[in-house]
Chains A and B, each alone.
Chain A
Amino acid sequence: MAGHRIGVYVCMCGTNIANTVNVDEVVESIGKMDEVAIARSYKYMCSNPGQEMIINDVKDLDLDRVVVAACSPRMHEPTFRKALETAGLNPYFVEMANIREQCSWVHDDGRAATEKATFLTRAMVEKVARNEPLDKRSVPMSPATLVIGGGITGLTAALELAEGDQTVYLVEREEKLGGNVARLDLTAPYLDSARDLLSELITKATRHPHIVPMLKSNLIDMNGFIGNFTCRVRDGEGEEVDLMVGSVVVCTGYREFDASRVKAYGYGKLPDVITSFELESMIRQGKIRKKDGNLPQYVTLIHCVGSRSEEFHPYCSRVCCMTALKYAHEVKSAIPDSYVSDLYIDMHAFGKGCEDFYRKSSETKTMFLMYGKNSTPSVRLAGKGEDCEMFLTVQEQLSGEEIEIPTDLIVLMVGMEPREDSEQVARLVNISRDKDGWFIESHPKLDPVATTTDGVYIAGACQSPKDIPDSVAQARAAAARILAHISQGEIWTDAVYAEIDGDLCSGCRICNELCPYSAIEFDEEKKKSSIISAVCKACGACVAACPSGAIKARHFTDEQIFAQLEGVL
């Protein structure tokens, strides 16, 4: 054990850590530990000079292990593993103590936070001293990709990959490609035709020699790991086919909020209360009409139906504000003497060209009325002699007055929500969902299309409400990530997996059934179990279950965890 030369680097993260944790004190007490050759603090360890400090110390001071006390390892562990490789050390000889997300950012008491940071750092010093050199596994990368969902996102991802000369299986559960965009007429804010955008993509995709469109099909099972997935797809006729792919892009999009859930608007009961998608379909047919077939004189658009509400969805659906403005234009141009009112909570015009579009819309003589988040407008039917179908009462926020407006047609701007089968899809491809049901990305800022499962990417509105430009950008980003892997020909996967010591294995086979990936084989002749490392995903369930203590979780050994325990206590 003795004889390690460990370098410990305590990051200040600007002031993120240093404002709460006294880093000098941490450096001082850790510096006194037996095998610690040097302990230092620095403003930003992840910066180039920070990494160079480590690399130079490894060389100059002959360090053989490194601990970086900084942010979460989920953030910068790869950064420092690379730095160690550059310094000529095995990348698994670095450990990170999480003193930002799990210390300085969650505690106010500087004393206690400093003490905790010291313990956390000490635990990683104890662990790293027991780390073993690990070799990464290289596995061949299958160049084919499965794209789930044939909407604008899936089509874009498929085409981008196919243009890179790679095979794409494009699975769409409906009988037509196009997804939700196929239900639209014009798009905001430039008012170009959704049909034009889509038809070109669909034509290209269906004719592309590298794209295999699979309509009325669903993914029903997926096994394997990055570079080597086996995906079982069932088509409309019930036929099943196994596809071997290296990557999967989930582009399953969204569904619209069910407007009948907001009781106050009477959707489904009152004939002239419709959803934005129903208006869209009227516009596509060139007929904006009331239920009785006559032209509406007063049209009212209500924003945030199902969105930004404590009762339904807390989030903003992002596209509805601009879509409502688009309707104001379309209604005005179809029925020039109509009166359009727009009832909004806040006008979110955040995208490129959107603020200009908003300004232009106010020139089309639309009446904008601001209602409060907690005061939904109420509807009542008009009496016989009135010249309108209904009245809406609004607690107008800017004037502070209660205003009653006549209306013939109410359009509910329904928000986006995760598809009803998003939970099932998440489970199939082994990714997570956030509290609202959207798929979770690997990192919200730095890794927005990857997921916690290597080789599985998410793009478009299945990740959170998104407009077309953002969805297309994500589709292309995912394709670029995949093409980069394909061009390398093989992929290096984590060296962390479990292994069985044949001498200790008693052949009881308890582990065989425990493995969710069937990664454990049993040799009938030798009466011993062994682990197929490429299939093992390192959960460690077998390790904890082995009565003989014959299974080792690489990088998470009993010895390493015990050392960490002693360190934190």
Chain B
Amino acid sequence: MAFEPRIVGFLCNWCSYTGADLAGTSRIKYPHNIRIIRVMCTARIDPTFVLKALADGADGVLICGCHPGDCHYVEGNYKTIRRYELLKKMLHDLGIEESRVRLEWVSASEGMRFAEVVKDMTETIRGLGPNRIKIELAADSAER
């Protein structure tokens, strides 16, 4: 069977979750591979959420928030930018491809953009193939 990536999306309530809803009301089609978890702000996203998603078998993690300067909480997304940079370093050290985790800005009016981001990310992950971490973790604990 062809590889179908599983992507977890963490979307901020005010811009991106609303943008994803707009894609829905506008009936803009995009790949079914994304499963969305709503948070109030991307600044709520603890890097461990992303690591846990990958450890539990997600092939990719998409974080979407308001455009810089347009955050419902003034500057939450700037905090996310900084955390994301650190997270990328951590992923690198863990041997996980950086492109499995992606940060994108999607406003409440960008339903089309959201669909395009999901499409593009799904293709990227499809190209990378399955995330091996879960399998490796299982093998690792079996050895012990």
Residues of A within 8 A of B (CB): 72-74, 98, 100-103, 105-109, 112-113, 115-116, 119-120, 123, 427, 430, 432-435, 440, 452-453, 496, 514, 516, 537-541, 543-545, 553, 556, 558, 561-562, 564-566, 568-569
Contact = CB atoms under 8 A, between A and B. Distances in A.
Contacts of B14: 432, 452
A540 B44 contact: yes
B24 A558 contact: no
Contacts of B72: 430, 432, 452-453, 539
A101 B108 CA distance: 14
A539 B52 contact: no
Given A109-B32, A539-B44, A553-B44, A564 B24 contact: no
Nearest to A434: B109
Contacts of B24: 72, 100-102, 105-106
A569 B58 contact: yes
B18 A106 contact: no
Interface centre among A72, A74, A452, A561 (most CB of B within 10 A): A561
A185 to B, nearest CB: 35
Interface residues of B, number: 51
B75 to A, nearest CB: 6
A361 B30 CA distance: 48
A565 B49 contact: yes
B73 to A, nearest CB: 4
A74 B40 contact: no
A569 to B, nearest CB: 5
A516 B57 CA distance: 35
Contacts of A74: 13, 17-18, 21
Contacts of B53: 565, 569
Interface string B69-108: 1101111100100010000000000000000000000011
Given A432-B14, A543-B46, A565 B28 contact: no
B20 A556 contact: no
Given A435-B109, A452-B14, A569-B58, A101 B41 contact: no
Contacts of B75: 516
13 contacts: A72-B17, A74-B18, A107-B29, A116-B32, A116-B35, A427-B69, A514-B79, A538-B40, A553-B40, A565-B8, A565-B49, A569-B35, A569-B53
Nearest to B67: A432
A46 to B, nearest CB: 16
A539 B28 contact: no
A541 B52 CA distance: 19
A263 B36 CA distance: 46
B115 A106 contact: yes
B107 A432 contact: yes
Interface centre among A73, A103, A432, A562 (most CB of B within 10 A): A432
Contacts of A432: 14-15, 66, 70, 72, 107-109
B73 A541 contact: yes
Interface centre among B20, B21, B27 (most CB of A within 10 A): B21
B32 A569 contact: no
B37 interface: yes
B29 A106 contact: yes
Given A452-B14, A543-B44, A120 B35 contact: yes
B44 A102 contact: no
Contacts of B17: 72, 74
B37 A564 contact: yes
A556 B39 contact: yes
Contact of B20 (A102, A453, A566): A102
Nearest first, the 10 closest Cβ-Cβ pairs linking A and B are A540-B44, A101-B24, A541-B43, A539-B73, A539-B41, A568-B35, A105-B24, A516-B74, A112-B32, A434-B109
A113 B33 CA distance: 10
Interface in B1-57: 6, 8, 13-15, 17-18, 20-21, 23-25, 27-30, 32, 35-41, 43-49, 52-53, 56-57
